[in-house]
Every structure is written in structure tokens, then in C-alpha cells.
Amino acid sequence: MVEANTARRIDERVFFQRDRRADGGARRIRVTRDDVLISRRYSGVSMVITVPVTAYCGVALEVQPADDGSPRYVLSLAHRDPDLDILLGDTQDCGAAASDWRHWAAWLGLPRVTEEDGALRSLEGAGEAIAAASPRRRCETSLGKRRPRFLFRRKAGDSRRTKVVHGDEREIISYE
């Protein structure tokens, strides 16, 4: 049992990040291979959001100028909603940033992306802009083409088999 807990702890990373809207100005983030759990307190109420990793666009690397003018590399988990972006690292060492970028992308199974002019561009996709990431829908498979079980007995409509409807006539029913 101890080995399972140790393995589980290795497969998750916990961060504390600044959040101006949270009580105490911080939120707790737990990142696993499957999902991201964001927890914070807002006006005394505990809030927890679980976001699947597949909802994220990729692991983004952004180059920003530091206070002394040298480049600063910011590594983050990019989401369509900026409030759900997760800061993974911040360094001025180019080699460490590239290594961490490859590690996080491989560990989470997400593409590596860069932010240019406010848009995310993938390295794997030959510079194409990344569309909003969403999981594949099941209706695209062959299962979506099947008819439900109770509809198999029903016949398709045929205009020749329809009954004649006489308008403006009254029906007289006799029970004798």
C-alpha cells in the first residue's frame, strides 16, 4: 500500500500560485497526467475546479524581458480561458527552459506551443495556429451511424401508404 501512495505522489505535482481574487492571494494547483485540480477560497467559500488535461491547448513557452533586460522564459500550461492557465516554471536559463518544456509536454502528452502575437503556434504542426483543443466526439465513429434498437422494426415513411384526410368533415361514431 505504501508503494502505491509513493507512485501516486510521483505522478502528481503540486504548485501554489498567486491569485488576486482568492482569499490570502493564493491558489493550490495539483497537476497529474489526467487532470488539473485548482482549489482556492473566495470570500470564505472553498472552490475546487477539476479540468482534464485534454482541455489544455499545450505546454507554452513565452520569452519576456526581465528587469535587467535579459530574456526570461515563462513555461505554462495554456488553456483557452486565461484564468485556467497554469504557470509551470520561470527561469532565465535557456537550456533549463527547453529541457523543462520537453519534459512537461512529454509527461502530459500535450504539444509544445509558443506564444507569438497573442496566438499559440505549435512546433509539431509546422507553425500552424492551434485551434481550440477539445476531445474527439463519439458521433464521428461508426457507432453514430447505427439506429437505436427500438427503431429497427420501424419502416421508413412512404407517401403512397399515407391515408386520405378529408378536411371540414365530421365523423359520426355509433356504438350499437
Write down the pLDDT at residue 116: 72
What is the rounded distance in angstroms from the CA atom of residue 56 to the CA atom of residue 39? 18
**Which parts of the chain have pLDDT scores under 50?**
1-2, 4, 6-9, 126-140
Q: Which residues contact 110 (CB under 8 A, 6 or more apart)?
A: 53, 56, 57, 58, 59, 77, 104
Q: Which amino acid is at 95?
A: G
Give all strands of the β-sheet with 26-32 in edge-to-edge order. 12-18, 26-32, 35-42, 45-52
Global confidence as pTM: 0.60
134-170: pLDDT as tens digits: 444 444 455 555 666 666 666 667 777 777 776 777 7
